[in-house]
Amino acid sequence: MSESAIVLDKVHKRFGNVQALRGADLKVSRGSIFALIGPNGAGKTTLFGLCCGFLRPDGGRVEILGGPADVTRFKGRLGALPQDAVLGRDISVREHLVFLGRLQGMDLALAQQEAARVLALVDLGELAERRAGALSHGQVKRVGVAQAFLGEPELILLDEPTAGLDPRHAHDLRELIRSQRGARTIVVSSHNLQELEAICDEAAFMEKGLTIESGAVAELTAKDAEIHVLLAPGPEPIDQLRARVTALSVTWDPAKRTLRVRFQPTPDRVAEDVIAEVLRELLAGGARISALGKGRSLEQRYLEQSPPAGA
């Protein structure tokens, strides 16, 4: 069995005069929680459509769960939340989910059982008999998430899953996604990069139909190889620090009063060891520490890769 749940190799897709994908490459490890990051129009939704088998590539290779992207292979194996999921307005939430379960090949009893289970996952069990047309926007989104989890699929694609949710339900959904690590593969597309950084193992940046960078979130953000220190007004023992701490580079920005220390981690010298060394030297030199952090945020890392709007 392939170690990758998703493989895209030089994939192209055009809609009329619009080139949605221009040779996109992507590998998503089985059991990972993967972030797909990019602006509107980057090709993320097209990529999801290809993974579901709803679209066919114009060029390149798409491999999903060890084989071709064919909807006939995906019954019960792949679940998806479209960005603008639409429910049947005149049927109940339970009927909607039971219908989708039956389409997956479940018998009636199992479909009813699964509908109850996934509604409980998103805290909507009490609304099972309510017509979908009477739900709020946030409730519709949670039903959409529930349908993606029907049948406990191997691969789940979630497009903006927390958009429109109140803080409590957004938190609960993040915890639900996090709890699935290792049990199934989940790909999340969202503009909330802080959220993605908190829950995802791997990430890919997309721009104009191309994957411009991908990898483990810890590597992309350099959390194990870089620290940042903000100094309050006062002594600046930077030369002393450079002389006594072994690092790849020590960069000081006097205007922002920020210090960046980059280093090569080893089994015997991890980030926490470097933090202790740096703080010891700074405090010995009289520096006043305002803040300290490991690496850069996923948002900072993305903005370094992404050209400004209109560029």
In tens digits, what is the pLDDT along the chain, a chain of 311 residues? 568 999 999 999 999 999 999 999 999 999 999 999 999 999 999 999 999 998 999 999 999 999 988 887 888 899 999 877 778 778 999 999 999 999 988 999 999 999 999 999 999 999 999 998 898 888 999 999 999 999 999 999 999 999 889 999 999 999 999 999 999 999 999 999 999 999 999 999 999 999 999 999 988 998 889 999 999 999 999 999 999 888 779 999 999 999 999 998 888 888 999 999 999 999 999 999 999 999 888 888 888 876 555 44
Domains located in the chain, CATH noted: 4-215 (3.40.50.300), 226-295 (3.30.70)
Structure tokens at 72: 């006939």
Give the CA count within 13 Å in the CB-facing half-sphere of 109.
0
Beta carbons of 145 and 173 less than 8 angstroms apart: yes
Nearest to 35 by CA among 157, 142, 173: 157
At which residue do the structure tokens 């952090």 appear?
Answer: 293
- Tell me which DSSP letter residue 166 carries: -
Virtual torsion, Cα 264, 265, 269, 271, nearest 10 deg: 110
Crossing angle, helix 108-121 and helix 93-103, to 10 degrees? 120
At which residue do the structure tokens 């114009």 appear?
Answer: 58
